[in-house]
Amino acid sequence: MTKTLPNEAIRKAAALLREARNGIALTGAGVSTPSGIPDFRSPESGLWKRYNPMEVASLRAFRYNPERFYAWLREIASGIRAAQPNPAHYALAALQQAGYIHTIITQNVDALHQRAGVRRVLEVHGTLETLTCTRCYHKFHAADYIEDYLENGNIPRCPDCGGVLKPDVILFEEQLPFLVWNQAQEAARTCDLILVAGSSLTVMPVAGLPVQALNNNARMIIINKAPTYIDVRADVVLRGDVAELLPLLAEEALRG
């Protein structure tokens, strides 16, 4: 890791972006928290400080007590519905449009990247935008059910068979979406630069993607408030709020 002053680090990171021919980004909760969406694991305010995830957000919990799951999810879904993309989302969209970042791999389920104009997004932890019937496996748009759920607390049910609809987010005890995860690994293995933004890199297996990129001799930029396990191997580390630093980085990269 190169120790440089913030402005020097931003200039170096921008130069790396401009040199990249197949850059990717990996984003975590820190990209969405400036939009008002709480994260799950922060020591002070994370949702897991208030809830036992295995009791409310595991596959077993959903199957045996979907009412409790949906009661817990209601607050989160309401916040996501009200959230808007922040400057970090728009900065990544600008970097993609300029050709510096081709693929964005995200751990977030809020679809804010897409709403900011990002085209190629791999949602490795799923999305709240769609629902799947647990009985007949038909898929539905969450927008058709969200208002009744948020206002009245009614659990979404399949209009065809009456089965409970499960949000297409990845719960504890559940495997990552096979095709998306394979695409994410391929993107990491073949990129020449990886930009990690707003992720503490503590959740496996996604936290291992930067290692796959490094094994391909990719350069690495990390933007995060807290240290990560792989900072020591990064070319540039920018410590701070991604909603402030990513726009500065994008502006510097696009200026060149």
Confirm whether 125 is a catalytic residue: yes
Residue-wise DSSP of 81-93: HH----HHHHHHH
CA distances from 110 to 35, 98, 183, 195, 231 (A): 10, 24, 20, 20, 27
Tokens 């400057």 belong to residue: 87
Contact partners, residue 15, CB within 8 Å, separation at least 6: 256
Say which of 89, 102, 113, 125 is annotated catalytic: 125
Alpha helices in the chain (DSSP H): 6-19, 53-56, 59-64, 66-82, 87-97, 112-115, 146-152, 178-190, 209-214, 242-255
CA distance 165 to 155: 8
CA distance 50 to 47: 6
CA distance 29 to 53: 16
Our measurement of the distance from residue 68's CA atom to the centroid of its chain's CA atoms, rounded to an integer in Å, reads 25
Token pair belonging to 213: 């990129």
Could you give the residue numbers annotated as active site?
125
